[in-house]
Amino acid sequence: MSTVKKRPGSKYYWYTTGTPPNRIRLSTGQTNIHVAKIKQKELDQLYETGRLSVVPKTVKGFIDSYLDWHQENKKPEWHKRVQQGLTTFSKLYGNILITDVNIDHISDYKKLRSKERARNTVNHELSMLSGLFKYAQMRKMVISNPADSYFISRHDTSEDQRDPIPLDMIKEIIKLTDNPRDKAMLSLSLYTGIRAADAGTLTKDNIKDGFIEWKQGKVSKPVIVPKHPILADMDLVNIAPKKRQRGHVTQRLQEKLMDLYQYESDFHSIRHTFATRLADLELDHIYIKFLLGHKMDDITWRYMHKRVETFRPYVYAI
């Protein structure tokens, strides 16, 4: 017969069943005795059907085993992103048992990450955590998924609230910047709308006589933008291949915006400046989508590609 009771040093009720050496002891993750007894019944059902026979692991240990499975079963690019996405959670809660993780841990994690990362990034990390606990459910390590979107609401990113950096501000900062890497990165973003990761890793093959072409890393969508004259004499090849280098560019930009204008923003907002300026010049929104590398069907993309030369006057007018 199983029991649920609190153990010394734990705020949760623990489930115990079986006899040594096959005794199973698991945290219910509940502080309320009535809810713990409901979970006790669920665990009894798993035990009776032979599906409750695993030894609880710490969060770090379980994430490590999950990543081993993930690496074998998923594409390398996606595996790398998931590995990075779970790192902070592992550092925060690595020493507690995976069975002790509850909705409070996930909510606190969401609040913490929301202060440090973009809303869309936080949503991705919550989805990765949900995938982790779905795997734990599959392995019969946990009963419920504390990171399920039903319980943890995602940030609403249907309308991007990020404001563009005013054109005169970013132009003045570029003018005052002595650092060649910063000048090139900021100029690329302003005159092509390119994302930081793509701007820092351009190759010679991406830079043509009159255009800059690349595949947008986020969605692997091809992008082609007329090359603005201001970029002509700049070294644009592999200028910030490491993430920390791009982070330093953003940090210095933020410091200058604050020092000169008491204005808070970031590198990605220059991309919004690019799009806003094109809209001010009355370039059709579908063309702006093309220049930003937003998703569109292949037929539309091929049509735009043929007309890209017509966008040159608009880009030059930024």
- How far apart CA 310 and CA 200 sit, in angstroms, is 27
Q: Are residues 174 and 279 in the same domain?
A: yes
Residues 74, 76, 79, CA angle at the centre, nearest 5°?
A: 65
Domain holding 30, by residue range, is 3-48
Count the helix, strand and coil residues of the chain and give each as a percent rounded to the nearest 5: 55, 10, 35
Q: How far is CA 276 from CA 116, 273, 280, 314, in A?
A: 26, 5, 6, 12
Q: Are residues 176 and 295 in the same domain?
A: yes
* Listed range (6-10, 26-30, 298-302) with the worst mean pLDDT: 298-302
Q: Are residues 192 and 251 in the same domain?
A: yes
> Does residue 151 fall inside a structural domain?
no
According to DSSP, the β-strands at 13-17 and 24-27 are: antiparallel
- How far apart CA 197 and CA 80 sit, in angstroms, is 15
The total of structural domains in the chain comes to 3
pTM above 0.85, yes or no: no
Q: Are residues 204 and 266 in the same domain?
A: yes
Q: Are residues 180 and 42 in the same domain?
A: no
Q: Among the residues of 232-296, which ranges form H helices?
A: 243-261, 268-280, 285-292
What pLDDT does residue 178 have? Answer: 93
> Does residue 27 fall inside a structural domain?
yes
Q: Are residues 101 and 204 in the same domain?
A: no
What pLDDT does residue 251 have? Answer: 93
Task: Tell me which residue of 51, 5, 60, 53 sits closest to 27, measured CA to CA.
Answer: 5
Q: Are residues 88 and 184 in the same domain?
A: no
Q: Are residues 22 and 88 in the same domain?
A: no
pLDDT tens digit sequence for 42-95? 888 877 776 666 556 789 988 988 898 888 888 888 888 899 999 999 999 999
CATH number, domain containing residue 134: 1.10.150.130
